[in-house]
């Protein structure tokens, strides 16, 4: 049955949905590391990534319009690569989500350690992922009201921190602007991209938005502009108020560095810290359920007799898929170090995005319309970000292999 026009959403509702999909706990995990590794030039990194994500989002939205079928990335990549490439694309997308949730679990452990200082953050993070997985298996999922509360808790620390930091910003903190060179602006794109991942949810609105040919590109543009502006103001205010030395001294939760700059604003800092914690836990909680659904859909696409028997017998269902995703997140959480989370998340998701965008390059109509100029820009910037993420993995492995044994196995990894 075709959705009636009265039931469809307008461009502003679609814009809000797009913002909710992008604004997540990722923006709460990156600024400390970015400021320490890039300096004030990380503002330029956010601008570059916002433009790159816009090109990718426009292209993926176009693919979604051309192939409006269930299966998203599988259907998109299947158009040019067949069944196997479609499955590999979905697998990359899922792996990216799993690794990303491992990072957020690490961050949740750090934020919880603020309230239970005698506990190990890794232990606390492990308890979180186990508890959140069990809650999903027992059907305790976030309601619509819960999702609305979650976005408020996510946006609150951004706005509160921005206002607080601008009240004490100093222009001297922006000099030198790029202490580690211009190249560093692009080397850290993988961290910034983490804060924008989720934009692909906007592209899936083609079936429920009025006049999708015109309004879907508008919603993508408006939501990206709003999110990019919020991020840029947030990061600019942080750098203006907090000296770079404090970011290096306190690489954990943002509230740790803020408490050094605003020692008399304890209650505001505590509110920001608590909001960050709930945003992290809420994001992981909802993504376990969503990823479980995606994994179940992935298994249904497989043409294996074994998987079909497992589905028919009921062994593979929503609960077992949720348990599998929770276990996968736990494995990534205990196996990867902080920097590798960003690298692997970026690489897996960028592969999925690129495979989807390649479909447009195989269509003559897209070349005639000029759409593929944007597509080529999206693929080019995705490849650039992938290269720097891969190169960082190589450098990380080289450093670990050359480090003393005591450093590799005894020194705790800072996150």
User: Is pLDDT at 373 greater than 60 in this prediction?
Assistant: yes
Domain contains 3: no
pLDDT band, residue 150 (cuts 50/70/90): low
Which tokens is 262 given?
């605003």
Higher pLDDT, 208 or 125: 125
Q: Which domain holds residue 34?
A: 10-410
pLDDT band, residue 386 (cuts 50/70/90): very high
Tell me the three state secondary structure of residue 415.
coil
Cβ neighbours, 10 Å, residue 284: 26
pLDDT at position 315 is: 84
User: Is pLDDT at 3 greater than 50 in this prediction?
Assistant: no
User: How far is Cα 93 from Cα 108, in angstroms, rounded to an integer?
Assistant: 23
Q: Which residues pair with 9 in a beta bridge?
A: 209
Domain contains 2: no
- Considering 44-53, 69-78, 273-282, 359-368, the range whose residues carry the highest mean pLDDT is 359-368
Mean pLDDT over 64-77 rounds to: 80
User: Is pLDDT at 390 greater than 60 in this prediction?
Assistant: yes
Q: Residue 333 in contact with residue 124, Cβ under 8 Å?
A: no
Domain contains 279: yes
Task: Write out pLDDT tens, residues 152-205.
Answer: 777 777 888 889 889 888 888 888 888 878 888 888 888 788 888 877 776 666
pLDDT at position 203 is: 67
Q: Residue 257 in contact with residue 164, Cβ under 8 Å?
A: no
Which tokens is 74 given?
């599988």
Which tokens is 29 given?
């995990």
User: How far is Cα 85 from Cα 15, in angstroms, rounded to an integer?
Assistant: 31
Higher pLDDT, 301 or 328: 328
User: Is pLDDT at 92 greater than 90 in this prediction?
Assistant: yes
State phi, psi for 9 to the nearest 5 degrees.
-95, 160
Task: Write out pLDDT tens, residues 93-148.
Answer: 989 989 888 888 888 888 898 888 888 988 999 999 999 998 888 876 555 555 56
pLDDT at position 254 is: 76
pTM of the model: 0.81
Domain contains 335: yes
For tokens 């692909």, the residue is 200
How many residues belong to the chain? 415
Contacts of residue 332, Cβ cutoff 8 Å, sequence gap at least 6: 98, 99, 101, 102, 341
The b/e string for 372-392 (b: 16+ C-beta within 10 A; e otherwise) is: bebbebbbebbeebbebbeeb
For the chain, the average pLDDT equals 81
User: Is pLDDT at 372 greater than 90 in this prediction?
Assistant: yes
Q: What's the farthest any 2 CA atoms get from each other in the chain?
A: 66
Percent of the chain surpassing pLDDT 90: 18
Residue 295: name the closest of 319, 273, 279, 314 by CA.
319
CA atoms within 13 A on the CB side of 255: 22
Domain contains 415: no
Higher pLDDT, 198 or 385: 385
User: How far is Cα 58 from Cα 8, in angstroms, rounded to an integer?
Assistant: 21
Domain contains 238: yes
For tokens 């989370």, the residue is 341
Domain contains 161: yes
Residue 56: name the closest of 68, 70, 33, 73 by CA.
73
Which tokens is 17 given?
């949905």
Q: Which residues pair with 209 in a beta bridge?
A: 9
Domain count, the chain: 1
Domain CATH code at residue 33: 1.20.1740.10
Task: Write out pLDDT tens, residues 228-282.
Answer: 888 888 888 888 888 877 877 776 677 778 888 888 888 888 887 887 788 788 7
């Amino acid at each position: 049955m075709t959705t009636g026009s009265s039931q469809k959403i307008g461009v502003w509702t679609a814009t809000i949905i797009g913002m909710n999909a992008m604004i997540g706990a990722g923006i709460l995990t990156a600024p400390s590391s970015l400021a320490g590794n890039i300096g004030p030039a990380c503002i330029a990194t956010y601008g570059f990534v916002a433009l790159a994500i816009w090109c990718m989002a426009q292209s993926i939205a176009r693919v979604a319009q051309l192939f409006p079928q269930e299966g998203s990335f599988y259907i998109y990549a299947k158009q040019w690569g067949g069944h196997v490439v479609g499955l590999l694309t979905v697998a990359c997308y899922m792996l990216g989500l799993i690794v990303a949730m491992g990072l957020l679990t690490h961050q949740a452990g750090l934020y919880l350690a603020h309230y239970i200082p005698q506990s190990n953050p890794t232990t606390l993070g492990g308890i979180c992922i186990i508890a959140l997985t069990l809650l999903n298996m027992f059907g305790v999922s976030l309601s619509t009201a819960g999702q609305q509360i979650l976005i408020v808790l996510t946006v609150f620390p951004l706005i509160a921190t921005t206002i607080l930091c601008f009240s004490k910003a100093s222009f001297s903190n922006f000099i030198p602007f790029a202490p580690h060179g211009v190249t560093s602006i692009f080397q850290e794109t993988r961290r910034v991209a983490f804060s924008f991942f989720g934009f692909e949810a906007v592209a899936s609105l083609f079936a429920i938005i009025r006049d999708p040919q015109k309004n879907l590109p508008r919603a993508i543009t408006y939501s990206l502009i709003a999110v990019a502006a919020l991020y840029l103001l947030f990061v600019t205010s942080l750098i203006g108020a907090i000296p770079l030395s404090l970011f290096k001294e306190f690489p954990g939760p943002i509230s740790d560095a803020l408490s050094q700059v605003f020692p008399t604003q304890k209650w505001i800092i505590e509110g920001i810290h608590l909001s960050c914690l709930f945003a992290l836990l809420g994001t992981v909680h909802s993504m376990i359920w969503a990823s479980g659904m995606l994994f179940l859909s992935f298994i249904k696409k497989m043409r294996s007799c074994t998987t079909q028997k497992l589905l028919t017998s009921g062994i593979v269902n929503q609960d077992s898929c949720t348990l599998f995703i929770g276990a996968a997140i736990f494995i990534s959480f205990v196996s990867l170090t902080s920097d590798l989370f960003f690298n692997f998340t970026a690489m897996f998701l960028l592969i999925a995005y690129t495979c989807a965008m390649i479909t447009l390059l195989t269509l003559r109509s897209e070349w005639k319309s000029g759409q593929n100029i944007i597509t080529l820009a999206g693929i080019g910037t995705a490849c650039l970000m992938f290269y720097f993420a891969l190169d960082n993995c190589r450098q990380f492995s080289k450093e670990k292999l050359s480090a003393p044994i005591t450093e590799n196995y005894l020194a705790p990894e800072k996150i």
